[in-house]
Amino acid sequence: MHRFCIFIFLMIKISYLDAQVFSSNMGGSVVDDGRNFTDFTIEVQQLDSLQLNQHFGLTQVCFNLKHGDLGQVKIQLISPDSQMVDIAGGLFAADCNVCLDMKAGQYIGHGWGPYNGTHRPLRNFGKMNSGGRSNGIWTLRIKDYYSGVQGFLESWSIQFGTNPPFGNKPYLSSALPILKINTNRQEIVDYTKRTMELELIDKGLGATNYFTDSSTFKHAIGIEIRGSSSQWFPKKSFGFEFLDSLGEDQKVELLGMPAESDWILSASFTDKGFINNVLAYDLFRALGWYASRTRYVELVINGEHQGLYVLMEKIKQDNNRVDISKLTSIDSAGSDVTGGYIFKIDKTTGGNGAGWFSKIAPIVNPNNQTILFQYHYPSDENITEPQKKYIQEFVDQFEQTLQNGPLHQKDKGWRLLADESSFIHYFLLNEISRNTDGYRLSTFLYKTKDTKGNKLYIGPPWDFDIAFGNINYCDGQKTTGWAVDFGNLCPGDNFQLPFWWSRLLSDSLFINGLQCEYKKLRASSWSNDSILHLIDQHVENIFPSAQENFDLWPILGLYIWPNPYPYPANYSSEIIELKNWLILRLQWMDRNMPGICLVSENKNATQAIVDADAIQIIPNPATDQIKIDFDELDSKVEKLQIYNMHGQILFDQFLGASSQLKINLQPFNSGIYYLKIQLSNNQLLHKTFVKI
C-alpha cells in the first residue's frame, strides 16, 4: 500500500489583475523507497470561478524541488475531482525550480538541466479546465522510482487566470486500433522484459474503436523500454514479445501482419510527422525487399492514453521477415554453418556489444575510429564458436576482396560475395532520405546459406526518425549533398562509415547501376506524385490521432532534439515541411546522381535487375487496369503474385504459357504494389507499380 505523506501548508492567496495564485512555502522530504509516492497539497478556497473552463482555468504550476538525480522522479498534478496529469519527470538534472506554462517556449521533458524559468509541462494540463472543480484539494504527487537519492520539495504553487489552455478532454474513440497494456503494478524498465498483459481493440477497417470497448484479443507479453538516444524522451518506445502459458516465446498474428513473437512500439517522439520510418520502409518494400511492416495504433497503459504509436516488426530471422536459413547450435561445419546470419553496425546501447571489429579502418578515422560488427542472429547468447569464426571470416573475405580485388567486372571480385542490387537500393534509400545515421548506425546485414546463394546482403533498413531533413547537425537538414559523405562533414564522430562505400562509388559498374535504378524508380514508385500520394494516404489515416497526440504531448512549435529550425506550430505544417524538403531533395538527386545509364550497360547491375527490366507494366502509374508483358524474358514465367505495402498477397496465379496478363485494379486501393515473379529457372524477380 502507498504511504501518503500529507503536509499542512501555509496557504497564501494572491490576487492581481486576472490571475489568482495559491502557494505553499512549507515543503518536505520525498519518500525514497522506490515504491511509494509523496503527496503535497494546497487547499484552494473562494476561487472566482467554481468550474474551470476555456475562459478561466489553471494556467501555471510552479515548484522548487531539490534532488540528486531527477531522472528517478515523476511529478504529477491531481485536481480536486481526481484528474491526474504527468507534468514533469525523468529530468537530466539535480535541481528544478520552474514554472510550467502551456505558452512557454521550451519543454520540461527535453535537454539537460539545470531547469529554471518557465517551461511547457511534460503533458498538457488543459484537460483540467474542461469543466472540473476549481475549489478543493490540489495535490502535487512525487514518486521516486529508485531508492538511494533523497529529494526535498522546497515549495510549490498553482495559478489560475483567463485564457487558460483548454480542450484536452479524455479521448473516447479512434479510427485506429487501440492497444492496451496492463502492467500489473509493475514498472516497464530497460533491459529486462517484465510479464504483463496486452489487449487489442480493433473492429476492422473503417470502424470506430472505443477505448471502453471489450477487447478483441488478449495475450501475455514480456515488455521493456527500448531505444538509444530516444530513451531520453518522456514518451517511451517499447519492445515486446508474446508469451505462452510457460513464459516462452509464442508466434502471434497481429493486425494482419504475419505471426511472430517480437514487435516494436515506436513513439516517434522527435519525428513529429509520424511518417519517417513508415515512409522509408514503404519505399524499400517497393523495391522488392523486405522491410518491417507497420501499423499505426493508439497506446493505453494502465488506463492512461499515451498517444499515437507505430507498431512495427522487429528485425529477425523468419520466413516472413528476414527470410534466411535457420541456424541451430549443431550447425557447426560444412554447408550447415554457412547461413543464415544477421549482424549490424550500431551503437552498443541496444545490446551488450558482442561481435568483432573490422580489420580495415574507416576512410575517415582521425581518432582511430573502428567499425564494430555486432551479432544479431544468432544472438550472442546462442551463436557458437564455429559460427562466430565462419561469419567473421566471410565478412573479412568480403572486405579484403572489395579493398584489393578487381572492380568494374561483373563476374569477378566483390560481386561474387555480395548482392550488388541490395547495396544499390540501400544507397538510394539512405540518400533520398539523406539519412545522417545511414550506413554507420542501425545498419543491418545478412548472409545467406551456400545453398541459397551464399552472399552478403545489406538491409533491412531501420530507424529513420531523424532522416528526411529532421536533424540539425552534420548537414542532415540540407536537401543538397550526400549522406554517404558523413565522414568529411563530421570526422570527429565516433561512428564512421565502413570503407565499403568509398570503394563501391569508385566502381563504374556500381554507379552506372545506381543511375539506371534511380531513373527507373523516378518514373514509377519514386516519382514525386507517387511519394506525395503515399504520404497523403498515411496522413489521412492518422490525422485525428496525430492532433490528439500533440494535445497529450505539447511539443509542436518547440525544439526537440535534433529538430532543425523552423519548428512548425501545427501538424499540417509538419507534413508540408516534409513534402517540400522531399521535392527539393529529389530535384537535387535528379541533377547529381552519378553514373551513366545506357541500354547496353543494364547488365552491369545484376541479372535480376536486367530480367526485371524486361517485364513491361503498362500503364504505370495506372488507374483501373494494367497489362503485364513477359515477351522479352529469356525464361518462362511460372507464377505471379501481387503484394500491397503491408506484405499481404492480393493476387496469386500460375501463368503456364501466358506471355501477357491483364489485371483489373478496381478492387485495389490507391498506393504502391509490387510483383513477385517466379521464373522456370527458379529465379525470383520483383517489379513495382502504382495505383492512383
Lowest-confidence region among 6-10, 429-433, 624-628, 660-664: 6-10
How far apart, in whole angstroms, are the C-alpha atoms of residue 250 and residue 244? 6
Q: Does residue 80 form part of some domain? A: yes
How far apart, in whole angstroms, are the C-alpha atoms of residue 307 and residue 295? 14
Q: 368 in the Ramachandran plot: left (φ > 0), alpha (ψ -120 to 50) or beta? A: left
pLDDT tens digit sequence for 617-646? 888 778 889 888 877 776 778 888 887 644
The answer on 30 and 104 residing in a single domain is yes
Lowest-confidence region among 159-163, 187-191, 534-538, 596-600: 596-600
CATH, residue 58: 2.60.120.260
- For the chain, the residue count is 692
How far apart, in whole angstroms, are the C-alpha atoms of residue 300 and residue 210? 12
The residue among 129, 162, 195 that closes a domain is: 162
C-alpha cell at 96: 528544478
The whole-number pLDDT of residue 638 equals: 81
C-alpha cell at 98: 520552474
C-alpha cell at 673: 504494389
The one-character DSSP state at 581 is: H
Pairing of strands 262-266, 341-345: unpaired
The answer on 468 and 413 residing in a single domain is yes
Residue 115 Cα distances to 58, 71, 90, 614, angstroms: 22, 13, 12, 62
The answer on 240 and 362 residing in a single domain is no
The whole-number pLDDT of residue 7 equals: 36
The residue among 98, 130, 162 that closes a domain is: 162
C-alpha cell at 131: 469543466
Q: Does residue 327 form part of some domain? A: no
CATH, residue 639: 2.60.40.3080
The whole-number pLDDT of residue 230 equals: 65
pLDDT tens digit sequence for 194-252? 999 999 999 998 899 999 999 999 999 999 999 776 677 999 999 999 999 999 999 99
Residue 208 CB neighbour total at 10 angstroms: 11
Query: 612-620 contacts: CB < 8 A, separation 24 or more?
Result: 612/677, 612/685, 612/686, 612/687, 613/520, 615/675, 615/677, 615/685, 615/687, 617/675, 617/687, 617/689, 620/524, 620/689, 620/690
Q: Does residue 598 form part of some domain? A: no
How far apart, in whole angstroms, are the C-alpha atoms of residue 499 and residue 402? 9
Q: Does 620 or 426 have the greater pLDDT score?
A: 426
What's the pTM value of the predicted model, to 2 decimals? 0.85
3-class DSSP state of 423: helix
The residue among 162, 196, 216 that closes a domain is: 162
How far apart, in whole angstroms, are the C-alpha atoms of residue 628 and residue 663? 8
The answer on 177 and 135 residing in a single domain is no
Pairing of strands 294-301, 304-313: antiparallel
**Closest among 610, 616, 677 to 643, alpha carbons compared:** 677
Work out the pLDDT band at 350, boundaries 50, 70, 90: low
**Closest among 470, 394, 480 to 435, alpha carbons compared:** 470
CB 167 within 8 A of CB 161: no
The answer on 561 and 682 residing in a single domain is no
How far apart, in whole angstroms, are the C-alpha atoms of residue 244 and residue 252? 10
The answer on 664 and 582 residing in a single domain is no
Q: Does residue 427 form part of some domain? A: yes
CB 391 within 8 A of CB 332: no
Overall average pLDDT of the 664-681 stretch: 77
Q: Does residue 4 form part of some domain? A: no
Q: Does residue 599 form part of some domain? A: no
Peptide bond into 562 cis (omega under 30): yes
Q: Does residue 320 form part of some domain? A: no
pLDDT tens digit sequence for 53-96? 999 999 999 999 999 888 889 999 999 999 999 999 888 787 89
Q: Does 156 or 1 have the greater pLDDT score?
A: 156
The answer on 557 and 411 residing in a single domain is yes
The answer on 186 and 142 residing in a single domain is no
**Closest among 141, 119, 142, 5 to 67, alpha carbons compared:** 142
Q: Decide if pLDDT at 672 tops 70.
A: no
Number of domains in the chain: 4
CB 201 within 8 A of CB 166: no
C-alpha cell at 377: 542472429
Percent pLDDT > 70 in the chain is 91
pLDDT tens digit sequence for 93-144? 878 999 999 999 999 988 777 889 999 999 999 989 988 899 999 999 999 9
How far apart, in whole angstroms, are the C-alpha atoms of residue 521 and residue 689? 10
The answer on 423 and 557 residing in a single domain is yes
Q: CA triplet 21, 23, 24: central angle to 5 degrees? A: 175
**In 278-371, beta strands by DSSP E:** 294-301, 304-313, 341-345, 355-357
Residue 494 Cα distances to 363, 367, 498, angstroms: 13, 8, 12
The answer on 551 and 523 residing in a single domain is yes
C-alpha cell at 94: 539535480
CB 168 within 8 A of CB 127: yes
pLDDT tens digit sequence for 447-491? 999 999 999 999 999 999 999 999 999 999 999 999 999 999 999
The answer on 230 and 366 residing in a single domain is no
The answer on 392 and 302 residing in a single domain is no
Residue 152 CB neighbour total at 10 angstroms: 12
Name the residue range of residue 197's domain: 173-313
**Closest among 369, 494, 483, 479 to 436, alpha carbons compared:** 483
Q: Does residue 369 form part of some domain? A: yes
Distance of CA 415 to the CA centre of its chain: 32
